[in-house]
Amino acid sequence: MKHLLLIAAACAASPLWAAEWATRPGDVPLSPAELDALAGRTLTFYDDGQSKYSAGGAYSYTYSAVNGGGTAFGTYSIAADGSICVQYRNGFDRCDLYVRNDGRLILITEKGERFPVRPE
């Protein structure tokens, strides 16, 4: 019983258990192979912001000119639940879930916001 309590405490403190992803019918999370294939890709959103996933775990997000421009840098990792977690150099961190729905790639934030990715 003590062992189970320790596991439960560790899981409760984990960010993986913090997010209840707000998926919709038809949402299919990316497979491990699709998540691995993000390395070396730049994803562009409809507001012209760009997420760049580099080999080795480097990450950058460049804001569109309309949103002030500039780039935030950090590192990313793939969590056990299939989400992508980013730790920014400024100390901020976040996890997002990528899903496919009806042929579209969509990023879902922990708050449940949905941001479709432009087709390449």
| 9 part of a folded domain | no
Model confidence at 3, pLDDT cuts 50, 70, 90, reads: very low
Query: First-to-last CA distance in the chain?
Result: 51
| 27 part of a folded domain | no
Q: Which residue has the tokens 């760049």?
A: 52
Whether residue 94 is predicted with pLDDT greater than 50 in this model: the reply is yes
| 103 part of a folded domain | no
Task: Give me the pLDDT at residue 32, please.
Answer: 94
CATH code for the domain in which residue 57 is found = 2.40.128
Are 11 and 3 in contact by the 8 Å Cβ rule? The answer is: no
| 107 part of a folded domain | no
Q: Which residue has the tokens 């000119």?
A: 65
Whether residue 40 is predicted with pLDDT greater than 90 in this model: the reply is yes
Are 76 and 85 in contact by the 8 Å Cβ rule? The answer is: yes
Are 42 and 51 in contact by the 8 Å Cβ rule? The answer is: yes
Whether residue 54 is predicted with pLDDT greater than 90 in this model: the reply is yes
Domain that holds residue 57: 32-95
Tell me how many domains the chain contains: 1
| 37 part of a folded domain | yes
Whether residue 1 is predicted with pLDDT greater than 80 in this model: the reply is no
Backbone angles phi, psi at 66, to 5 degrees: -60, -30
| 20 part of a folded domain | no
